[in-house]
Amino acid sequence: MNRLEVIALSKRFGFRQLFDGLSFVMTAGQTLAVTGPNGSGKSTLLRILAGVLRPSSGEVRLQVNGRWIEATDRPFHVGLAAPYLQLYDGFTARENLAFIARARGLAEGSRWVEHWLERVGLRAFADEPVAIFSSGMRQRLRLAAALLTNPPLWLLDEPRSNLDKAGHQLVESLLAEAQQQGRLVVVATNDANEAAACMLQVDLQALAKLPGPA
Ligand SMILES: Nc1ncnc2c1ncn2[C@@H]1O[C@H](COP(=O)(O)OP(=O)(O)OP(=O)(O)O)[C@@H](O)[C@H]1O
């Protein structure tokens, strides 16, 4: 059983308070939409959930197959796909994924690399350098890179950005598959339809706190 618990989470950058007192629980197979205007902290929240950024206060707890994961190990159980994540332009798509597979010590790495190249529709471009990829092709590769290690927690920041119609269908089928497999999926989005399609919603605007008096 997979489970994510977020308890009284807040994040502040200097005097700028983002969300404050954010709490929710997700259980296996659930999808959560994180919404809010530009700058409300959606990407920041995903980075905190991934364990690569510390909250100002509060706690994130991840359970994988019934076992609580140490906070320092959380990044190994997370797949984060975000528009700001860089790919290696000088490497081909296959080399990018192979590098991640090796870095993460993925057993049968090359089998998973081929699986995900096929799954995101990049097989025909597998040996092209990423430098020549379109923005939609880059987004497909980011999704493959995030999901390559079969993580129980998916953190998808604007997953449909730059994708064509087939790409939107790809994301839909990935989300349906994740649900069946009991994964936990958090989607940051500005798209009302995309948010409504998720089982749970968190609106960061409602949780924003203006800086109080000194
Ligand atoms: N490392 C940082 N240091 C200082 N401020 C930061 C840092 N990272 C993010 N911020 C600020 O935190 C706020 C929230 O940024 P974030 O990228 O999380 O918003 P977002 O809701 O994802 O926005 P968008 O919809 O535009 O992607 C912004 O004002 C941003 O400038």
All domains in the chain, ordered by first residue: 3-207 (3.40.50.300)
Q: Is 109 in the pocket of ligand 1 (CB under 6 A)?
A: no
pLDDT digits (tens, 9 = 90+) for 66-98: 999 999 999 999 999 999 899 999 999 999 999
The number of the ligand 1 atom at minimal distance from the alpha carbon of 11 is 12
The number of the ligand 1 atom at minimal distance from the alpha carbon of 158 is 27
CA of 40 to the centre of ligand 1 (A): 7
Question: Is the overall model pTM greater than 0.95, yes or no?
Answer: no
pLDDT digits (tens, 9 = 90+) for 21-62: 999 999 999 999 999 999 999 999 999 999 999 999 999 999
Interface ipTM above 0.85: yes
Contacts within 8 Å (CB) and 24+ apart, 85-91: 85/142, 85/145, 87/130, 87/133, 87/138, 87/141, 87/142, 87/145, 88/130, 89/129, 89/130, 89/131, 90/129, 90/130, 90/131, 91/129, 91/130
- Using pLDDT thresholds of 50, 70 and 90, give the confidence band for residue 205: confident
- What average pLDDT does the chain have? 94
User: Quick one: tokens of 3?
Assistant: 């489970």
Cβ-contact 163, 138 below 8 angstroms: no
Q: Is 42 in the pocket of ligand 1 (CB under 6 A)?
A: yes
pLDDT digits (tens, 9 = 90+) for 101-159: 999 889 888 999 999 999 999 999 999 999 999 999 999 999 999 999 999 999 999 99
pLDDT of residue 213: 44
Q: Whose CA is nearest to atom 4 of ligand 1?
A: 13
CA of 127 to the centre of ligand 1 (A): 35
pLDDT of residue 214: 44
